[in-house]
Chain A
């Protein structure tokens, strides 16, 4: 195996995540899309860690840190989404519209 397929997978995942985060209407899907973007970076890190000129474990350790951080981020995200849902009774991006310009 070479490095390129992994980087391509990462790029595709990042692209799908970014597209989803910017266009999807359901806030839960938006959060999942953001998670995909973070995981794209993790795939990159692990791939680089294995295929580097001098392979080292730094990238894999970095990826482990990121997994923990992403979990914290999504937990906070869902909590805020829940408090928004209680007030507005909606999880649609189009209802996040009290403040504009």
Chain B
């Protein structure tokens, strides 16, 4: 507390927030440049965003594993937990922007997306490192507000506007719930700093346990809406269908990863130490999310909605390690759960963005999002069909893919914690999931193409995105040990 505002030099700020400064500064710069560029040159603006993301990721990777440092009287912390989430967020954003560049459909995205995505990513990165209620909430809102605009970016499309409106209303209700819950946490803890609240709650928190339960409930509901945990998931398919496909991929990966980071940070630091039962609540949420998400996908015909329901189911898998470990006091179990979540997020990122990339191209070629658009894709584009098969098999969790190994690690966490039933439900729901992924596979490989037989031509950028995602999916499935070693060597919260 001694060195308050006056002594914070720029080099301090740079050392703590370097990657965020590059991303948000880059966003402002692109916003200005985009304004003055002639229309014919506007297409360079997404490439400027790619440049900013690569620079930011480089700065981040160089510092990975450095000692934990806190800044600005502990509003911001640079630890391995934040760094690994930021790395996932940056790589995913990079893939999404490349996908948006490749997606030159008739109704192409206005170039404003290049800086809006960067603002949202800046917010997501702030969430990963914030340890102050104000920082966390500001980061969350920066991410959310930029995402609302991104969903409604097709101004002429009724579906896009409708998706944006639904996302805006549901998302703001979720934000208000989180804020209301956090206000009680501030009231009981007497500080906005997570560490300080934790210390203050050590003594005599039982006097206020009612208020703390209230706070936990509101925050859990708000986060549940944001990451689409099951009782609160109904907005997900509609918003994902209405949004432009690159934005859908962004919501499915970056937005979920960031809010998950918020959840883990707040729960591990504050609520986890107080409530033994909260692990059980999350376990039940995770179980119904896996079941309802995967069953909801079964009757769908629109591939985008299938992928949306599938992403709801995947959230169940992501919550599971945490539910299994719950209120453990063993640091080792906690670290194992965190590294399995991080590993699965890496796998989820590659396979989801890859699937959406192939979908974007196929839907554009046939001007239809229906599963019939995939009929005979194997004839029309063997490359896209093969890659889509890799992504779908990985999402379903077949061996030799990243999805299998990620699920296996999650299963091990549940097994070690003695929560065998969670592991069983994990595999049972994966079997259900295989059924609807198989529907797409069958359409691609066994059915005859409806209508013209013309080949689907993919642009070089699209080939790069799809190939990168497939490479990531297969590499993590066949040789997961390099990433595993990195994750096992991390100190997470320092």
Contacts and interface: CB of A to CB of B under 8 A. Distances in A.
Interface of A: 10, 14, 17-18, 21, 27, 30-31, 34, 37-38, 40-42, 44-45, 47-49, 52-54, 56, 58-59, 61-62, 65-66, 69, 72-73, 76-77, 79-81, 83-84, 87-88, 96, 98-101
B17 to A, nearest CB: 17
B118 interface: no
B180 A84 contact: no
B188 to A, nearest CB: 9
B176 A41 contact: yes
Contacts of B166: 96
A62 B141 CA distance: 13
Contacts of B172: 31, 34, 38, 73, 77
24 contacts: A10-B180, A10-B183, A14-B176, A17-B176, A34-B169, A37-B180, A38-B175, A38-B179, A40-B180, A41-B176, A45-B183, A47-B187, A48-B186, A48-B187, A59-B192, A62-B186, A65-B134, A69-B141, A69-B145, A84-B164, A84-B165, A87-B158, A87-B161, A99-B242
Contacts of A56: 190-191
Nearest to A40: B180
Given A41-B180, A56-B191, A98-B159, A73 B175 contact: yes
B63 interface: no
A80 B238 contact: no
A36 B192 CA distance: 22
Nearest to B300: A101
A21 B186 contact: no
A71 to B, nearest CB: 11
Given A34-B173, A69-B137, A73-B175, 7 more contacts: A10-B183, A27-B165, A41-B179, A52-B187, A62-B133, A62-B137, A69-B138
Given A62-B192, A66-B179, A87-B161, A30 B169 contact: yes
A79 B241 CA distance: 20
Interface stretch (B149-157, B244-252, B465-473): B149-157
B163 interface: yes
A41 B183 contact: yes
Nearest to B241: A99
A18 B152 contact: no
Nearest to A44: B183
Given A45-B186, A48-B186, A80-B152, A98 B179 contact: no
Contact of A96 (B165, B182, B190, B237): B165
B333 interface: no
B184 interface: yes
